[in-house]
Amino acid sequence: MAADWIGCLVSIHCGPTLGVYQGEVSSVDQTSQTISLRHPFHNGVKCTVPEVTFSAMDIKDLKILEIRKSFTEVPKQNGPDINFTLTPHGGRKDKGGGAPVNSTPVMVPNKTEPKTQEGGVSPVPHYSKRSSSCRGPNQATPKKNGLKNGGHMKNKDDECFGDGMDDVPDEDFDFEGNLALFDKAAVFSQIESSERRGNGARSRGTPGEQTPSRYRHDENILEAKPVVYRQIMVPQNGTKEYSTDSGLVVPSISFELHKRLLAAAESHGLSLERRLEMTGVCASQMALTLLGGPNRLTPKNVHQRPTVALLCGPHVQGAQGISCGRHLANHEVEVILFLPNFVKMLEAITSELALFGKTGGKLVSNVKDLPETPVDLVINCLDSHENGFLREQPWYKAAADWANQNRAPVLSIDPPVSGQAHAVEAKWSLSLGLPLPLSEGAGRVYLCDIGIPRQVFQEVGIKYHSPFGCKFVIPLHSE
């Protein structure tokens, strides 16, 4: 009956000390109560000896991995004197009795029958074992085979790795030693020297082919047409020119041409009300940025709301300032609007005041009602392009003196041209559509888009390409 075990693949568990062995049964000796495995694996690593012999006392558990013949194994009893008899019937695992933990499986260097000593245990030759955590190329995890569609399933490891596993060396590859053989400096030196000899030619590829230019990460490698920086042409050369951050030239226009441009835009439907709304949005957005933007206007900073003082006169520029104040008040800015009492006002100012009154902003008509302490920002809309006599009015002088004495920065919206003196020194000035030739007292000039189409510019003789890009307010630099 013992011959029925020959050729079967089994797994033998010898306890925590000796570990688990797998292999093909080469012999079973019922007299000495031993079983031998050829081509053994110990804890998943192939053994260095061709055969291993186990005593029945060392075996804790025995599992059949591949059945070559149909048989039944009779469980062995506890103790050294057991009957290790196998009768062919069916496959079941044999759970044997306990053995001393210091028992050692017998290792034989060849396939001959081992000589037994007293107790039926063969002498143990010297051999080395690798740790179970070290997985080598010969490691294979045996699995139970099953039947599929009546056929016998092959072991997946055998299908993957095939035969010839004994020829794989046990030594690990020395990565560090192999990397030390590579002289990186010498290789790069050879590449550079070949490029110098080729006078800029590539070291690989077609001989004589020139090396392409090297580009920065922010440069476009595609060839493009040269950039035309003067894209706006005016019929009359202005006295001053500006440029954007990208280098586009923005010429200034005279006030007469500015009036013709606005009249042409109004004839096409861009009414005064629409221009006031657009100017108010752009100016308020610029003012919000000057006030600190998202760093200042947050829900957690409601106890430190910024304060803006608006100084407006009875003209279109004053209506633009009131529109700006309405948008600022809608963004939780504390707005104080100064506008003197007049018997007759523009219809645009009346409608803008009605909307501003719905925001909760403060309206004052006397300079004495303005804050005595510095505010965060002063927006100046006192000046008019056409009526210069307003500067002689007492309310105008009082408001200008208050703005100059208050230590807050000043933003002027649509200030007058250079021929007129600026009563209030501004840090920033906002021009509409195209800039006017402003004097140095206007501070840094910004330009806002009020929505005038390109064809309207062409009607008044201006060749126009928008310099705004993705923004509605851009800074201008003096040439």
pLDDT at 101 over 70: no
- Predicted pLDDT at 209: 52
Lowest mean pLDDT among 32-41, 67-76, 90-99, 404-413: 90-99
- Predicted pLDDT at 344: 77
230, two tokens: 């003067």
Distance CA 388, CA 402 (A): 20
pLDDT at 246 over 70: yes
CATH number at 241-297+304-478: 3.40.50.10260
Q: What is the dihedral of CA 259, 252, 285, 442, to 10 degrees?
A: -100
Q: Report, as an integer, the average pLDDT of 433-444.
A: 89
Residue-range domain boundaries for the chain = 2-167, 241-297+304-478
Q: Report, as an integer, the average pLDDT of 25-42.
A: 88
Q: What is the pLDDT of residues 443-471, one digit of tens each?
A: 999 999 999 999 999 999 999 999 999 99
- Predicted pLDDT at 153: 52
Binned at pLDDT 50, 70 and 90, residue 182 comes out as confident
Please tell me which residue, 408 or 203, carries the higher pLDDT value: 408
pLDDT at 299 over 90: no
Binned at pLDDT 50, 70 and 90, residue 30 comes out as confident
Mean pLDDT computed over every residue of the chain: 78
The angle, 0 to 180 degrees and rounded to 10, between the axes of the packed helices 316-330 and 272-290 is: 50
Q: What is the pLDDT of residues 106-150, one digit of tens each?
A: 444 343 444 444 444 444 333 333 433 334 444 444 444 444 444
- Predicted pLDDT at 58: 86
C-alpha atoms less than 13 angstroms from C-alpha of 126 in its C-beta half-sphere: 0
Binned at pLDDT 50, 70 and 90, residue 155 comes out as low
> Taking Cα atoms as reference points, which of 109, 119, 112, 79 lies closest to residue 96?
79
pLDDT at 359 over 50: yes
- In this structure, CATH architecture of domain 2-167: Roll (2.30)
User: 30, exposed or middle or buried, with CB in 10 Å at 0-12, 13-18, 19+?
Assistant: middle
